[in-house]
Amino acid sequence: MASFKARDISCHFLTLHVGAGTFLPVKVEDTADHKMHSEWGEISAAMAETLNHIKAQGRRLICVGTTSLRMIETAVREDGTIVPMACTTDIFITPGYRFKAADGLITNFHTPRSTLFMLVSAFCGLATMREAYEHAVKNNYRFYSYGDACLLERNTS
């Protein structure tokens, strides 16, 4: 955290209570048939104001963890404004989703057919994630919640 501060990188914390369903594989062929688990989260008014200020300055919003990204994307309006909220979210982000707030994501490597792999594929592009995973497997990276992490940038095409 000290090295972030020294580089003028601000850190802000939100609340999201992760449910066990986060780690369950998708068992249906058509993702439209998947029932996403819901998780409770909160973004305070002060947090929303701070994040909107960061975006207005042209700075990047990097989420640490897929759960924080899901919460931010739940709280963002179509125009990109993040609003305060305290509620459950069952947002299911799959390829084709248009991200409105997050510019980057730090996360670990997730298992195939998981909602989390679908989210990172939506964020970076499926081809990019397949290539990253081939590299990870070939180089014995660790997967799951205590695995190796990576910094992903949002695919803007």
Residue 61 lies in a domain: yes
pTM over 0.95: no
Identify the CATH number of the domain in which residue 130 sits.
3.40.1780.10
Residue 73 lies in a domain: yes
Boundaries of domain holding 38: 11-18+32-153
The answer to whether 106 and 149 have CB atoms below 8 angstroms apart is: yes
Per-run averaged pLDDT (10 residues), the chain, 157 residues: 82 80 74 81 94 94 91 94 93 92 91 86 93 91 79 87
Residue 108 lies in a domain: yes
Q: Locate tokens 């125009």: which residue?
A: 79
Residue 23 lies in a domain: no
Residue 1 lies in a domain: no
Q: How many domains does the chain have?
A: 1
Determine the straight-line distance between the first and last CA of the chain, rounded to whole angstroms.
32
